[in-house]
Each structure stands twice: as structure tokens, then as C-alpha cells.
Amino acid sequence: MATINEIAPDLFRLSIYVPEFDMQFNHFLVRDEEPLLFHAGFKKMFPLLRESVATLIDPSKLRHIAWSHFESDECGALNDWLQVAPQAQAVCTMVGKLVSVDDFAIRPARGMTADDVLTTGKYRFRFHRSPHIPHGWDAGVLFEEECKTLFCSDLFHHFGDVAPVTSSDLIEPTRKAMRQMQQGPLAGYMPYTKQTEGVLRALADSKPEMLAVMHGSSYRGPCAGMLQELAGVIKATFDQA
């Protein structure tokens, strides 16, 4: 079973550590009137993740399944969840819905624009488009407005079987992970473009108080400064101009 920690009220981090990659794959369950799962996970991890979700809610009651960008660790098991939870709907950016998800999924997705709000009961969510941050033109990050949690996918990713939550700065672990990735077959996985700084500055302006990180520790504390600093780290690592 995954390692489960409640990292904020009604927010559970379900973490599966893969030693071969020295990496955690984290999935986030919001327990509310209409439960939401952020990251459907790999297909091969679905039995383990379903077992973990079942300790918190009845998996058939899941209503929303969201992720950042179309990639197997983000949404590979989407159809497994849609079969288990007959009322559940995939939730992604509008670009993701139009270019990938509605062909892949067994039911149409809800494609969200900047003006759309998803309410699960106590909590309100908005998708912020973030093309190519971290990957893909369909990318977005989900922001919960009541507790100010930013579900930031691969942003701030770092290696190790680390603590569920930290209040230590994530910039150095992230910088180290990016440099390590640049030495292997996945080099160039996060491009730097002229839009990078603006996207991260806009996320900082929302003043998140928690970062729900897919690979590594989540962060609790003032996040705006780290989001702005991250742009410089991405530029230094990936801008080859």
C-alpha cells in the first residue's frame, strides 16, 4: 500500500516510492462531498493506489480525477478509475481535453479555462494554464482557493524517499535534480521559453501557502518567492541559447 499522510485538512498524500528511480510518485486525494484525486497514476500502480484510496473513501464515490499534463504517471490509470467510479469525471485543461483526453478516456473530460471554478463542497479549484511548465502544451496546475494549495505536478521535483512535508526551501533539491536529469536520457524535459517567467510570476501572485509536489516532499510556507526563483533555476539549467 502507498504511504498515506494528511498534509492539510482533508488533503491526503498517497506516496509510492520506486527505489530503481530513487523517486516518489505522489498522488493527492481531497476528501470532500465530491472527492477529487490529483494524479491518476501509472496503470501498473492502480491496484496499489486503489487499495490506499479505499482506506480513506469508497473509491466508487470518487467524482473528479485531475492532473497536469498528458503523461503516464499523471493519467495512465485514468480509465481504471473511471470504471471503478461511475460518476467520476476527468478534469484537465481545455487543451488537454481537445488534443488527447477525449480520445483516450472512456468518458468525455471537463476541460477547464481560466474562468472556470470546480467546487467539491468546501473547496474551490481553478486550473492555471502553464504550457510547457513542466511539460507539454496542455500543461496546467491546479490551485485550491480556500487553503491555498498549489498542485504543481513536476515543479520542484527532487529525488529520494523524503518526508511528506517540509518547511525547508526546495530550490536546492530541485536544482540538483534538474542537473542530474540533464545527465541522462531524459535531458531537456523542461524547456525554458520567453513565457516561463511570466507563468511562474502569475502563480506566485496567487500566494499559495502549500505546494503539493508530485516527486518529493510537499512544502508548507510562503511559496511565492520560491516560484519566482524557480524561473531562474529553469533558465540556468535549460536555456542553451
Query: 60, 124, 110: which is closest to 87 by C-alpha?
Result: 60
Find the Cα–Cα–Cα–Cα dihedral 117, 2, 103, 189, rounded to 10°: 90
Q: How far is CA 80 from CA 16, 66, 85, 203, in A?
A: 18, 14, 9, 31
pLDDT digits (tens, 9 = 90+) for 45-89: 999 999 999 999 999 999 999 999 999 999 999 999 999 999 999
Query: 153, 131, 136, 138: which is closest to 202 by C-alpha?
Result: 131
Q: What is the pLDDT of residue 239?
A: 83
pLDDT digits (tens, 9 = 90+) for 162-199: 999 999 999 999 999 999 999 999 898 998 999 999 99
Q: What is the pLDDT of residue 157?
A: 97
Residues 6+ apart with CB under 8 A from 55: 1, 4
pTM of the entire predicted model: 0.97
3-state secondary structure of 38: strand
Domains in the chain and their CATH numbers? 3-238 (3.60.15.10)
pLDDT at 148 over 80: yes
pLDDT digits (tens, 9 = 90+) for 93-125: 999 999 999 999 999 999 999 999 999 999 999
3-state secondary structure of 28: strand
